[in-house]
Amino acid sequence: MPILGISSATKIISVGLVDQGRLLAELTLSGQEALTEDLILYIDKLIEQSGAHLKGIAATEGPGAYSGLRGGLATAKTLAQTLNLPIVGVSTLEAIAYNLIDIEGTVLAMTDARADEFNFAAFTCKGKKLTRLTEDLVLRFSRIVELLSQVKGKLYLAGRTEEVYSQLSNTQITSVPAYPRGSCVASLGEKLIAEGKIPPNILPRYSHLPNIREWH
């Protein structure tokens, strides 16, 4: 069941194709090439490269950047409607944590929110299964450092973790640079679709709204 995964919630855009947990193809772009306006071109290239016949679509629903989420979800919804395919939303933080699916331990996934705040969520990984421990939350930098300083046992920080990790002295904590890969989004989406957990609508969850003023 080939599933397309679209990740556009961060500064890195990634699209991936997965079939029963097996990676078929993936394309990741950053910097000036990471434009949501060109997402459909990246997806077309990916499908042509793999020769896959899509059976479903998964996209990051947030938390994430305003323009990136809007562009990614609009593309995903348009494709799903045009091709009459099921579509599901995936947490950006869960997609980040999924990078560590092969480890055994607790994973804390993090991304920037704004100012000195971070989006974060905790998961456990065991037997190639990811289990959520918390909802997607937002905490100030100082509070996260305080909490992690009290952690006992092995813990992996995944995602945007450099600032937090530099403030920690706990040697049981390992920092793992990671981003929400398109293949991780597709793998999580494949499970949701197989279980029939298809929502009637997917709404973006922004890290923060842009300062847009309405003129009359």
φ and ψ at 155, to 5 degrees? Answer: -145, 140
What mean pLDDT do residues 180-195 have? 96
Distances (CA, A) of 20 to 14, 55, 191, 193: 19, 11, 9, 12
Q: Which helix (H) or strand (E) holds 66?
A: helix 66-83
pLDDT at 115 exceeding the cut of 60? yes
Asked if 140 and 116 count as a contact pair (C-beta separation under 8 A), the reply is yes
pLDDT, greater one: 62 or 49: 62
Predicted pLDDT of residue 215: 45
* DSSP one-letter string for 144-198: HHHHHTT--S-EEEEES-HHHHHT---TTEEEE-----HHHHHHHHHHHHHTT--
Share of the chain above pLDDT 70, in %: 90
CB atoms within 10 A of CB 21: 12
Q: Quick one: pLDDT at residue 149?
A: 76
Q: Can you give the pTM of this predicted structure?
A: 0.90
Question: What is the set of domains in the chain, with CATH numbers?
Answer: 3-93+179-194 (3.30.420.40), 99-176 (3.30.420.40)
Q: For residue range 54-76, list pLDDT tens digits in order.
A: 999 999 999 998 888 999 999 99
